[in-house]
A and B are shown apart, each in its own frame.
Chain A
Amino acid sequence: MWAYIIRRVLATIPVMAVVALFVFSLLYLAPGDPAAVIAGDQATPDDVERIRASLGLDRPYLVRFGAWFWDIMRGDLGTSIFTNLPVSHMIAQRIEPTLSLMVVTLILAVSIAVPMGVIAAWKQGTTIDRLVMAFAVLGFSVPVFVVGYVLAYIFALELDWLPVQGYTPFNQGFFPWMENLILPSVALGGVYIALIARITRATMLEVLSQDYIRTARAKGAGQRSILFLHALKNAAVPIVTIIGIGIALLIGGAVVTESVFAIPGLGRLTVDAILRRDYPVIQGVVLLFSFVYVLVNLVIDLLYTLFDPRIRY
């Protein structure tokens, strides 16, 4: 197992290097100029050129890439063109809200979707099953921002139960922290609940038709035991896979959700950086997201061995 983990971790290095090269090249080729954005609408061409030179944007591709790559090898993600703050500092400022949003959404989605899928499979063809599937279709179909606006209207403006926007750090208390996360997590969670519930139902249906389930029933095992101990454990591999993929999708979903609920997370940081062509920040955040994705895949692979001992590496 340890050899496998080490092998997998080492395999992430070339992946990250390729990602780094890709990200840098893409930004280099992309149209747009941070100097023009910085200079503002009233600036003269001379202003823009002066700012370009001061930022080093007039240097050749290879020189810029070499300098940047050398810096990230030393753990230096660079300095934001606009704020003059270290990118690592900006990421550190923004990582907690995004992580909080993702964790709460994931917990919400898994704790609702897995039982929903199991029950739908158990009650296949019944009204309950159809309701679960209808909800799943709805969850897929309605965009996150629409759900967000509706939730904010009902629970913030009309009922005055929850805030419309913002984020309170966890160290200021669990409830203030949670208060700001409920609406965005529910808005963002809809898609994942739908996704996980559908996969869980489909996998459970397949597993429930297996011989060992029939055997368990014949031996007198209870319904709960059959569903959650025998069937669910054997259905776990695809469910875990989809949860893992969901984490990657959450990163994308967080961008929209953070904008709608004005949460100062990495999603908004990324969008702001892209619109301003703040290259060091875009590069830093994309590298981080890539790293998270690679890490999640690693964890999923390792979880497979726990759920299914037949899987050996």
Chain B
Amino acid sequence: MDRRSFLQAGVAATAASAGYAAPALSQGAAARTLRFVPQANLANFDPIWGTQYVVRNAAAAVWDTLYGVDENLVPQPQMIEGETVSADGLTWEFRLRPGLMFHDGAPVLAKDVVASINRWAPRDPMGQMIRAIQDELVAVDDRNFRWKLRRPYSKLKYALGKTGTPCCFIMPERIAATAGNSMITEYVGSGPMSFKRDEWVPGARAVFERAARYTPREGTASWLAGPKRIMVDRLEWVVMPDPATASAALQNGEVDWWESPISDLIPLLRRNRNVLVDIADPLGNIGSFRMNHLHAPFNNLKVRQAVMMALSQEDYMRALVGNDTALWSVLGGFFTPGTPSYSEAGGEVMKRANMEGARRLLAESGYANEPVTCLVAQDQPLLKPMGEVTADVLRRLGMNVDFVATDWGTVGQRRAMRNPPGQGGWSMFHTWHAGADCVNPAGYNAVRANGEGAWFGWPSIPSVEAGITEWFDAPTPALEKAAIDKINREAVQNVVYSPTGFFKSYQAWRRNVSGIQKGPLPFFWGVSKS
């Protein structure tokens, strides 16, 4: 007996006498609805206030950007019709393309753009850099705006079109007027889909509909660039905290697309002839062993170098994503493999563990058996195994490990504390960085080494910072690459942090779904369902 027969029998037995309604979703309606299981819950929906990837992913469907980075990491005009730059590189004149409309029917005007940039810039590292050299940002008329700088900033279009959070999404002026540290309460964009706020059940479901007023660009869609043609009427995000349930729902046809299946379930999904599995994002992720440079023992360069020398990235990767070597590789650098920025300058030490050498280096360092307070989030499937591998390595190295098994919320709080480890602080924690954010120094907070202003661990390494400045100022790809080599060499030598390997993840979808792009976020345009 199949489900339809069972339902009919059930309806005959129960509903006939009571007159209750039977299931009514027709096959046609189902085919026009794309049901998607996101990587996490859409807990809030302000892509500027919150910077989680899941918020960015939903926001990319609702709000458009001025430029959009394509799969070659080149920013292409998106809401922009064209721009002119003065010969000195200081004045940028932008013109919006015609016909841009917000979902509430209002036209997109230059003043909306100016307000949106003003809300985004203080929250974004590149935005902050631009503001620091900004002379004026003004709407010239309804379709034109001007950005005058005090010194050239060659990465301006990249800043406006990058995929890293927070993206520079364009909102109506009245919404963008909300302070960056307060949440917006209206979700009106000019992107290809509108958000159904009345159907939003945070933690369970988010619903989007095709935006009738959206006018796609001409050309071919590529990541955030090109025409964002929505092929279904409705997109439903179904939040499923349990991977086994998501797997079963996908196999059963109750959902169409699962963004982040765990590697343990991949063989099961592959056996189902109705399901396809493929790499989600060629830019993958970079695992991170992050050390606190402020306190012993990791304020000692030789201790950091000893630890980097002792780590086996292969051990981490096998613990994280298993034996599927298509999914991971060992890194000789900090930047994303397969991109022009990838460099192994000075990075040989990262590629092969050398425990004996590390022990010698640790002995030379004068390490006095200070405890290494390892914060390990047990509720994060990627971080728990990383923590266990680390504890093992450090113990074998001869270090005194204080293993703090906790949850990610606590790690998030504690890693911000600058006290010594014995007073509520920490020595190390793990995380990972999206490869898309590590393609260059622009959005790569973790490689910054500007002391107080740096990311958790607060490394202060002027030579790394000098390399980053050189990259931002580099007028040619060759000089950019030279700057990247310098950053990599200095970051390895001084151990800004220690990468634990490069890994990719899979996504899975039903065979009747087509048009899914590989990329750093799920792109819903071009995706259809038969």
Contact = CB atoms under 8 A, between A and B. Distances in A.
Interface of A: 31-34, 36-45, 47-51, 53-54, 80, 82-85, 90, 93-94, 149, 152-153, 156-157, 159-166, 172-176, 178-179, 259-262, 264, 268-269, 271-272, 275-278
Nearest to A278: B43
Contacts of A44: 445, 453, 455
Interface stretch (B72-80, B140-148, B235-243, B392-400): B235-243
B242 A84 contact: no
Contacts of A33: 409-410, 412-413, 416
A33 B409 CA distance: 6
A308 to B, nearest CB: 36
B14 A174 contact: yes
Contacts of B202: 80, 82-83, 85, 90
B51 A47 contact: yes
Contact of B238 (A47, A82, A166): A166
Contact residue range for chain B? 35 or more
By secondary structure, the A interface counts as helix
Interface in B220-244: 238-242, 244
Nearest to B164: A42
Interface stretch (B177-185, B209-217, B328-336): B177-185
B13 to A, nearest CB: 9
Interface stretch (B2-10, B299-307, B489-497): B2-10
A47 to B, nearest CB: 7
A156 B244 CA distance: 13
B15 interface: yes
A37 B412 contact: yes
Contacts of A261: 245
A39 B481 CA distance: 31
Given A47-B51, A163-B252, A175 B43 contact: no
Contact of A174 (B18, B50, B183, B415): B18
* Residue with the highest number of chain A CB atoms closer than 10 Å, among B44, B202, B238, B248: B202
A54 B183 CA distance: 10
Interface stretch (B19-27, B152-160, B351-359): B19-27
16 contacts: A36-B413, A39-B50, A42-B51, A44-B445, A54-B181, A90-B202, A159-B2, A159-B3, A166-B238, A166-B249, A175-B20, A175-B21, A260-B244, A272-B43, A272-B203, A275-B379
B202 to A, nearest CB: 4
B123 interface: yes
A147 B41 CA distance: 25
B50 A264 contact: no
Contacts of B415: 36
B92 to A, nearest CB: 26
A39 B27 CA distance: 41
B431 A41 contact: yes
Given A174-B15, A259-B241, A51 B181 contact: yes
B248 A157 contact: yes
B10 A40 contact: no
A175 B10 contact: yes
A165 B412 contact: no
B281 interface: no
A262 B245 contact: yes
* Residue with the highest number of chain A CB atoms closer than 10 Å, among B2, B413, B456: B413
B429 to A, nearest CB: 11
A174 B245 CA distance: 24
A36 to B, nearest CB: 3
A268 B241 contact: yes
B473 to A, nearest CB: 23
B409 A176 contact: no
* Residue with the highest number of chain A CB atoms closer than 10 Å, among B2, B254, B432: B254
A206 to B, nearest CB: 38
Nearest to A262: B240
Nearest to A265: B204
B407 interface: yes
Given A43-B51, A175-B21, A176-B23, A161 B1 contact: yes
Contact of A93 (B201, B379, B443): B201
Contacts of B204: 94, 262, 264, 268
A178 B244 CA distance: 22
CB-based closest 5 A-B pairs: A36-B412, A173-B21, A264-B204, A33-B413, A32-B409
B251 interface: yes
Nearest to A177: B20
Given A157-B251, A262-B249, A31 B203 contact: no
Contact of A83 (B7, B21, B44): B44
A37 B408 contact: yes
A84 B185 contact: yes
A165 B248 contact: yes
* Residue with the highest number of chain B CB atoms closer than 10 Å, among A42, A47, A50: A42
B248 A156 contact: yes
Contacts of B6: 159, 161-162
A173 B23 contact: yes
A181 to B, nearest CB: 12
Contacts of B20: 173-175
B39 interface: no
Contacts of A82: 43-44, 50, 202
Given A174-B20, A268-B204, 5 more contacts: A54-B182, A82-B50, A152-B245, A165-B254, A178-B14
A192 to B, nearest CB: 22
Contacts of A159: 1-3, 6
A86 to B, nearest CB: 12
A165 B43 contact: no
B163 to A, nearest CB: 12
A277 B409 contact: yes
A272 B54 CA distance: 15
Nearest to B51: A40
Contact of A166 (B44, B52, B181, B254): B254
A48 B248 contact: no
A84 B203 contact: no
B10 A179 contact: yes
Contact of A31 (B205, B239, B410, B446): B410
Nearest to B253: A160
A53 B413 contact: no
A277 B409 CA distance: 7
A9 B453 CA distance: 56
* Residue with the highest number of chain B CB atoms closer than 10 Å, among A41, A94, A156, A159: A41
Contacts of A277: 409
A83 to B, nearest CB: 4
B14 A175 contact: yes
Contacts of B46: 84
B241 A84 contact: no
B313 interface: no
B44 A176 contact: no
A64 to B, nearest CB: 16
B437 A164 contact: no
A165 B249 contact: yes
Given A32-B410, A37-B412, A82-B44, A165 B240 contact: yes
Contact of A160 (B3, B45, B53, B409): B3
B44 A164 contact: no
Contacts of B321: none
Given A173-B15, A259-B242, A153 B248 contact: yes
Interface string B25-62: 00000000000000001011110011111000000000
